[in-house]
Chains A and B, each alone.
Chain A
């Protein structure tokens, strides 16, 4: 959830007075709770968007066209946004790269999503979401971007959906890039997202496109790089793709004298699930080992952390604390709750135990 800041000083005095009147009338709610009834995209406190179109890209990838709500700040190509959708009644947040050009006349933005096996949000967006759906948004963020003055020679290395942030850059900056090589890997020709558009760019000479179909040609090896891109040493590189590919590239760059390598990693949201694990308490940054049977509330208190608490039996919700990341298990039902940074998942510490490493906000 993103808060839209509006400095009071810039507001017109009459508008500010009306705003205060609206607050008086709306209490204990806020005026936007009522204006949301009419148009959730006009909210001055919460950034939202509405899905306008869902365009199929490949069998398992789609571009989601979104009309962003009031307060959306233009992104820098290559950045991603966090999107929150309600799936089976539960809000889930994930990050996806922006793929839209900045100068769209209609002001719409796009993300391109590949449905991964068991991926709750990606499958929902690609297969179940429909135009008209209101989604929660966060302001764009990320430093996987091109510098203001682009280097003379650029290499993009992408794998699978790793093409998405690069597509965002190409659509916006291709005219200012003199010499671009794009080395893209995908299992088969049908899996290449933006295939037609990339080929068109290559046909006009805007970039050199090298597509590797890993089902038949095998995974990219670092040793092959010099052969595929002979002037590798002269190119600044941006890479995005599976963890294995990025690890391999980083290792290669570490032992070879080359121009900088920039990488973008989208780690899978699920943390390792197990019995017990290390628990980090955010307010103190204290990390302790916990077993799988002790409530996190007891773990924290035993470690001297000032924990909010209540009935200690799971009924009063007085101990609810944000789970920043990791997994916990409900000691009553065995149910696992997992969170990645920014998900805003709250857990009852009195009936939850560590199920793998986890971090609590308090």
Chain B
């Protein structure tokens, strides 16, 4: 994609300023109609998911105590993988978004939740909720666009480093939880001297302390408890973490990288109205179609568009608002990006491969100046690592 503002045909050109505000009001109404009906059934839902996930984790870890026995290894690893995915996606991500804060239960609250992921929740909430959700797909602002190690938009400046990005992306998928932690630490920003050293060092300490605790649990304590099954339990836990990393990485790639999802220039967000903010969220995210089970396993991020419009709406309600949101897209002639998991994931990977090369292959041959269709002084893109 090229930033919407620099496209030959702007897909929002047919909308007047009044249209955009009217669209915003319609989306507000959808939000309020659902928010007003939050209640006991929703509370029961999240408690049930948490209860199920914890029991699944307990049971899987218990089965893995006998992981020398292959069926136990297989069942335990599968259970633990699913448990970790549920914990990160449907529970952790959504609780930390404040989707369940209205219940006033301090045990299920954005301010108290800690998740099974290398990045401490406080740091993740900053980079995800404050930066990514406020500046979604804004070039030079939203580091989720390639995480600072990849070029996923034609308007991001090419360099030789990106030639390896299919490999970087694969490595990031394998080590995703550590990738998120490194990302939340803003290592790139620190290396460029734009982040306070004391703050950075304190954060590194916190991340390492958390990684240590998690590694002790998965790679030391739990294997030791398994006695003769120690090694196979270690392997099972590593596999479960790997499966979780691949899955979450894939789901998240589908949120913003597939084709037809728009990006925006930094200048375009200055003085943005509520309607304009909504419009950017509508065009800056893509959904995954599929079964109820798929939606659950993606933490309902398969409703990425709805999640970006209403980040604090309880996740179990996205399915209900999706048709209403889609009607608004149709009414205002906008493109609702959605597709099956293989299709969206394939599209995202295709982009990773294609944009490893400069926009104009001549630039690769001359190896001189990086490709740039036109100079954009304000859109500096960070490259970490």
Contacts and interface: CB of A to CB of B under 8 A. Distances in A.
A245 to B, nearest CB: 32
Contact of A315 (B44, B225, B312): B312
B54 A37 contact: yes
B51 A317 contact: no
Contacts of A242: none
A96 B129 CA distance: 40
A288 interface: no
B103 interface: yes
B78 to A, nearest CB: 20
Contacts of B102: 89-90
B210 A317 contact: no
Interface residues of A, number: 33
B167 interface: no
A313 interface: yes
Interface in A298-337: 310-311, 313-318, 320, 332-333
A174 interface: no
**Chain A: interface secondary structure?**
loop
A317 B94 CA distance: 12
B203 interface: no
Contact of A346 (B39, B104, B133): B104
Nearest to B129: A316
A344 B104 contact: yes
B129 A332 contact: no
Contact of A33 (B54, B213, B216, B221): B54
B111 interface: yes
B130 A24 contact: no
Nearest to B41: A89
A279 B322 CA distance: 39
B213 A24 contact: yes
B217 A27 contact: yes
Nearest to A46: B107
Given A89-B39, A313-B277, A28 B210 contact: yes
B191 interface: no
A314 B101 CA distance: 13
Given A316-B130, A316-B134, A25 B217 contact: yes
B28 interface: yes
A345 B104 CA distance: 6
A314 B278 CA distance: 13
A273 interface: no
Contacts of B213: 24, 27-28
B69 to A, nearest CB: 21
B129 A24 contact: no
B275 to A, nearest CB: 13
A28 B114 contact: yes
B58 interface: yes
A88 interface: yes
Interface string B25-68: 00010001001001111111000000100110010010000000
A318 B101 CA distance: 12
A171 interface: no
A21 B55 CA distance: 19
Nearest to A24: B221
B54 A34 contact: yes
Interface string A26-65: 0111000110010000000010000000000000000000
B212 to A, nearest CB: 10
A1 interface: yes
A28 B115 contact: yes
A91 B104 contact: yes
Nearest to A311: B134
A352 to B, nearest CB: 13
Contacts of B133: 311, 315-316
Contact of A318 (B35, B55, B130, B217): B130
Nearest to B121: A28
Nearest to A345: B104
A1 to B, nearest CB: 6
Nearest to B216: A24
Contacts of A34: 54, 58
A81 B191 CA distance: 55
B339 interface: no
Interface in B97-150: 97-98, 101-107, 109-111, 114-116, 125-126, 129-130, 133-134
Contact of A27 (B104, B111, B214): B214
A277 B310 CA distance: 30
B110 A320 contact: yes
Given A28-B114, A37-B55, A310 B221 contact: no
A195 interface: no
A82 to B, nearest CB: 14
Contacts of B115: 28
A86 interface: yes
B311 interface: yes
12 contacts: A25-B222, A29-B54, A46-B107, A88-B39, A89-B43, A90-B43, A90-B102, A91-B104, A310-B129, A311-B134, A317-B312, A320-B110
9 nearest A-B residue pairs (beta carbon):
A89-B43, A317-B98, A316-B129, A91-B104, A28-B114, A88-B39, A311-B134, A316-B130, A310-B130
Given A24-B217, A86-B40, A88-B40, 5 more contacts: A24-B213, A86-B43, A92-B104, A317-B98, A344-B106
